[in-house]
Amino acid sequence: MKVLVVGNGGREHALAWKLGQSKKVEKVFVAPGNAGTARDAENVDVAATDIPGLVQFAKSQAIDLTVIGPEAPLVAGLADAMEQEGLKVFGPSRAAAELEGSKVFCKNLLHTANIPTASYQTFKTGGDAERYIKDRYPEPDEPVPVVVKADGLAAGKGVIVCDTRHDALEAIDRIASQREFGEAGNELIIEEKLTGPEASVLAITDGETIITLPAAQDHKPAHDGDTGPNTGGMGAYSPTPVVDEAMMARIEADVLVPVVHAMKRARRPFKGILYAGLMLTPAGPKVLEFNVRFGDPECQPLLMRLQSDLFDVLEAAADGRLSELEPLQWDERPGTCVVMASEGYPGSYDKGHEISGIDNADALEDVKVFHAGTTIADGQVLTNGGRVLGVTALGSTISQAKLNAYSGVKEIRWRGAWCRKDISDKALSTI
Ligand code: AMP
Ligand code: GLY
């Protein structure tokens, strides 16, 4: 079988690496890929959002399965374009991807289906949103615990957590007047600020059957102790003790199953990865957001732990045959992924620094370096993005997995490289 993975991040390197281990897969292409996928698969010089280019490539190579990594091509309708040409795809249609592409759509669906989420209001103009804040919180100094969100895709940045009236009005101004997130800010949501630990629960579904993956925890803030600006994710680990068996059963029954049914009822049957971003509040788990793809970096430790053939699973989902699949097999050992980033990220950063030590890190037992923002020039691996590498490791305990991942990190150098030092410590503090 020939497989095409679309995207160029750490998630796509992990997908390509795992798909390449399938006995059924003879070739994995990655479009456009990075220096890591160039080594573990074959890169194709077509952008992840070039829908006609990707369809043409898949047809010309008679690709048996296309796996779409990032949200942008899904929301733009890549899965639909592929299927129209009779090509098999793992990933939701454009209509189903609105679950991530529009937070207003997502919140309204959750509300209609009675799925627990923060209470919210939607607004078409900044003026209406401002009036709501001023009416609801008339005292200038009273606490205003709300979260202001841009409706559309904003690379994880269009969510502003507020404590004061000033924070909330400023957030509305940034989204609606300064248009910091462009068209994503055409509509706004203001929702209740929740508290509690966060967890990512991902499920594979063909629109009927749901296979839940072990829960993971991301680390979105840039700095240790969850401080600093939000990023795409500075590290992840799985499984997480904050989601025990009883909590997982509750999340499946109260969130995942009703969402799959609600999407079917809305005539947007969902096929692909359903990623619930959850807050485990004192009143139970509540949905913060849905993503329609693997999380990055959650994907890296999850796939390192997966022992089943990933091609079989994704193909069965694409074919609507998930109910026939054997239960997934997992390595019992926890996995941890530490993201190494460029100096300046998540703000502006340089590219083109020479990276050394990747092979030494990869040679360590139970360690795999997944590339994200890397490229190759004259045989040398160079930095090419903000999140550069995801050093991922298994270990007999979470502490051991962490130690193994940081042993890999220690081998790797480039000018300005940095990472959080506390990835997975949240697990230890909850035990
Ligand atoms: P999202 O992209 O919607 O998951 O939001 C990004 C981050 O903002 C989440 O990981 C949470 O830390 C935070 N967040 C989003 N919504 C809320 C909420 N209603 N209450 C508290 N924090 C939130
Ligand atoms: N790690 C968070 C995300 O992929 O959206």
For residue 213, which of 224, 226, 222, 204 has the smallest C-alpha distance?
204
Q: What is the 300 CA–ligand 2 centroid distance (Å)?
A: 11
CA dist 276 → 4, 82, 243, 293 (Å): 25, 26, 13, 10
Spatial distance between the Cα atoms of 379 and 29, rounded to a whole number of angstroms: 20
CA dist 327 → 1, 79, 272 (Å): 23, 26, 17
The preferred substitution site among 159, 160, 218 for testing ligand 1, maximizing ligand atoms within 8 Å of CB, is 159
What secondary structure letter does DSSP report for 49? T
Q: Which residues of 218-235 are buried (b: 16+ CB within 10 A; e: fewer)?
A: bbbbbeeeeeeebbbbbb
Was domain 125-186 assigned CATH 3.30.70.260? no
What residues flank ligand 1, with Cβ below 6 Å? Answer: 118, 147, 156, 159, 161, 191-194, 198, 220, 277, 288-289
Question: Percent of the chain, pLDDT > 90?
Answer: 89
Q: What is the 296 CA–ligand 2 centroid distance (Å)?
A: 5
**pLDDT at residue 431 greater than cutoff 60:** no
The pTM (predicted TM-score) of the whole model is 0.95
pLDDT digits (tens, 9 = 90+) for 28-70: 999 999 999 999 999 999 999 999 999 999 999 999 999 999 9
CA dist 250 → 8, 135, 256, 280 (Å): 34, 36, 9, 11
Question: Percent of the chain, pLDDT > 70?
Answer: 99
**Residue in the block written with tokens 């298994």:** 394
CATH number of the structural domain 2-91: 3.40.50.20
Q: What is the 232 CA–ligand 1 centroid distance (Å)?
A: 13
**pLDDT at residue 20 greater than cutoff 60:** yes
Give the per-residue pLDDT at 383: 98
374-377/380-383 β-pairing: antiparallel
Was domain 335-430 assigned CATH 3.90.600.10? yes
**pLDDT at residue 189 greater than cutoff 50:** yes
Please compute the mean of the pLDDT values over residues 283-310 and round it to a whole number.
97
The protein residue with its alpha carbon nearest to ligand 2, atom 3, reads 295
Give the ligand whose atoms come closest to the C-alpha of residue 286.
Answer: 1
CATH topology of domain 198-324: D-amino Acid Aminotransferase; Chain A, domain 1 (3.30.470)
**Least-confidence region, from 36-45, 136-145, 356-365, 396-405:** 136-145
Please compute the mean of the pLDDT values over residues 277-290 and round it to a whole number.
96
**pLDDT at residue 177 greater than cutoff 90:** no
Q: Tally the C-alpha atoms within 13 A of residue 28's C-alpha that lie toward its C-beta.
A: 29
Domain boundaries, the chain: 2-91, 125-186, 198-324, 335-430
Give the per-residue pLDDT at 156: 67
